Amino acid sequence: VRPVEPGRVYLVGAGPGDPELLTLRAAAVLAAADAVFHDRLVSEAVLATARRDAERVDVGHRAGSVRRELAEVAGWMATRARRGQVVARLKGGDPFVFGRGGEEVQALAALGVPCEVVPGVSSALAAPAAAGIPVSHRGLSRSIVIATGHDRDPAGRPAWATPTEATLVVLMGSARLPALAEDLIEAGWEPDTPAAVVMAATTPRQRQVCGRLGEIAERAAGARLGPPSVLVVGEVVSLAPLLAPAVAPSLALGLAPAAASPTGVAE
Amino acid sequence: VRPVEPGRVYLVGAGPGDPELLTLRAAAVLAAADAVFHDRLVSEAVLATARRDAERVDVGHRAGSVRRELAEVAGWMATRARRGQVVARLKGGDPFVFGRGGEEVQALAALGVPCEVVPGVSSALAAPAAAGIPVSHRGLSRSIVIATGHDRDPAGRPAWATPTEATLVVLMGSARLPALAEDLIEAGWEPDTPAAVVMAATTPRQRQVCGRLGEIAERAAGARLGPPSVLVVGEVVSLAPLLAPAVAPSLALGLAPAAASPTGVAE
């Protein structure tokens, strides 16, 4: 086991929410950290695993809120690291999957602060899994595309091409879902492609709806799904009725049988 | 902490190789398992964390070797689960990311064996990170495409579309690299797109080369990179010279400065 070193900033993937999905390395860093910087995508249960006397700093990062400057946060972390503290920078999921981890490493490097990146279980992959959806499956999906719903090109459309036989996973605030679904259909995705929205995956708040792309926004609204949510589009969603019960005992913590039944797909 | 239950099969993501990148849940399952079924993508260091007296069963799954029938393996696991054993099925990376985890859950469900899926840190995301490459980065990449080099359409081409401003990660046997790079160029990727091959990421055997897509196969062959390897294509690879030293202390365990220098990109 490698030591956790003082004077260093650890950019740690906090995983999708379930504290048991933290890596051993992440748990070791949290057990040692004097200061924990986190955004709002990091679950309470994960934060609870940090040292009780550790300084906790919420640095925002919720969709729609004003984000504090990355450089400012890096400065705060650098100050503590230079005092000889162990600093943990917790990022929901994986730091390099739309977590701006690369930019934070750059900012810390510019300040001469040594850092370490600890990969985490990405919500982009674990959220579908928690709803019984394997992002790849022979015969149904040949590639996985991960994108964010906040990213649009100058024309206002999602910037990803339309792949064939792909599974599309979009990390998003649920407020964008109606426009996003429309954009995807306009970009060439069939409205009857199976789709699912998974909210707060792997936490006790997890809920999901399945259906078809053309109706998924309405279904998600009907079920009052909020952030953080992940949209999954592709034929693999049709496996959820079979696989959700199999993974349900632990992974799909909040899986209500009614919500799990993708009636729009099974019909 | 949830208990690990006898009579159950745990489909466990073993992560990219570094045992510290196992999840807490995976470690709990390995500490309890009476039988551990694994493929050759699971590192020795990870296997060493299983109970010393656990039965270990190597079920193949190396590229190019004959793969034992999934149903046969499911049968072996079912037999042990029915005897009341805790059975761990270890998959390199994440079980649902080209790990055929969905098919194994289906096979176990058909046999009436309860199972649990434990997501893992995917090599598709952690291997680039271990080489200092963030798969997403503002201004450089707007989506991440994950595919496997073994998957080709009837015409023999990779089946993924050509996305713009995307990072492409291909899990592959290194033997296919020359043909794969050619196919990608033919499919529209520019030969001078930054590219990297990362071998045995997050293990002491990790090595990588960076360059440009048009020359990456030659560079990888020159460096004698073998399986398991991951090909990364996209502008984010150009960040490796800056980020690799920052992540090097622990993540890029085998990072030799010479190998880390992507001369083909920096030139």
Q: Do B164 and A161 touch (CB under 8 A)?
A: yes
Judged by CB atoms closer than 8 Å, whether chains meet at A251 and B119 is answered as yes
Give the pLDDT score at B152: 56
Q: What is the pLDDT of residue B240?
A: 93
Mean pLDDT for B158-176 is 73
A71 reaches B (C-beta below 8 A): no
Among B residues 83-142, those touching chain A with beta carbons less than 8 Å apart: 94-103, 105-106, 108-109, 114-122, 125-126, 128-130, 134-138, 142
B80 membership: H or E segment, kind and range: helix B70-82
Q: Residues 139 to 178 of A: which have CB under 8 A from any B CB?
A: 142-147, 151, 159-166
Whether residue B7 is predicted with pLDDT greater than 60 in this model: the reply is yes
The number of C-alpha atoms within 13 Å of B85 and in the hemisphere containing its C-beta is 19
Residue A69's Cβ-count burial label (10 Å; 0-12, 13-18, 19+) is exposed
| Lowest-confidence segment of B22-31, B56-65, B67-76 by average pLDDT | B56-65
**Residue B264 pLDDT greater than 70, yes or no:** no
Determine which of A120-129, B4-13, B55-64, B206-215 has the lowest per-residue pLDDT on average.
B55-64
Q: What is the mean pLDDT of chain B?
A: 85
Give the Cα separation of A169 and B143 in Å (integer): 10
Mean pLDDT of B89-108: 93
Confidence of residue B265 (pLDDT cuts 50, 70, 90): very low
Nearest to B125 by CA among B13, B246, B245: B13
Beta carbons of A2 and B13 less than 8 Å apart: no
d(CA A115, CA A81): 10
Tokens 């089946």 label which residue?
A: B159
**Would you call A19 an interface residue with chain B, using a CB distance cutoff of 8 Å?**
yes
For residue B236, which of B201, B178, B194 has the smallest C-alpha distance?
B194
> Would you say B31 and B51 are in contact if contact means Cβ atoms under 8 Å apart?
yes
pTM for the complete prediction? 0.89
CA distance A222 to B163: 33
Helix (H) or strand (E) run with residue B104 in it: helix B101-110
| Residue B159 pLDDT grade (very low, low, confident, very high; cuts 50, 70, 90) | very low
Judge contact between A249 and B108, C-beta under 8 A.
Answer: no
Residue B6 has pLDDT above 90, yes or no: yes
| Sheet-wide strand order for B35-38 | B55-58, B35-38, B86-91, B8-13, B115-118
Q: Which helix (H) or strand (E) holds B44?
A: helix B44-47
Burial grade of B150 (CB within 10 A; 0-12, 13-18, 19 or more) = middle
Are A130 and A251 in contact by the 8 Å Cβ rule? The answer is yes
Average pLDDT over residues B212-236: 95
Q: For residue range A135-179, list pLDDT tens digits in order.
A: 999 889 888 999 887 655 545 445 454 556 789 999 986 788 998
- Tally C-beta pairs within 8 A across A and B: 227
Prediction ipTM score: 0.89
pLDDT of B69 > 90? The answer is no
pLDDT at A249: 47
Model pLDDT, residue A162: 56
Low-confidence residues of chain A, pLDDT below 50? 62-66, 154, 156-157, 159, 161, 249-267
Q: Do A143 and B164 count as a contact with CB atoms less than 8 A apart?
A: no
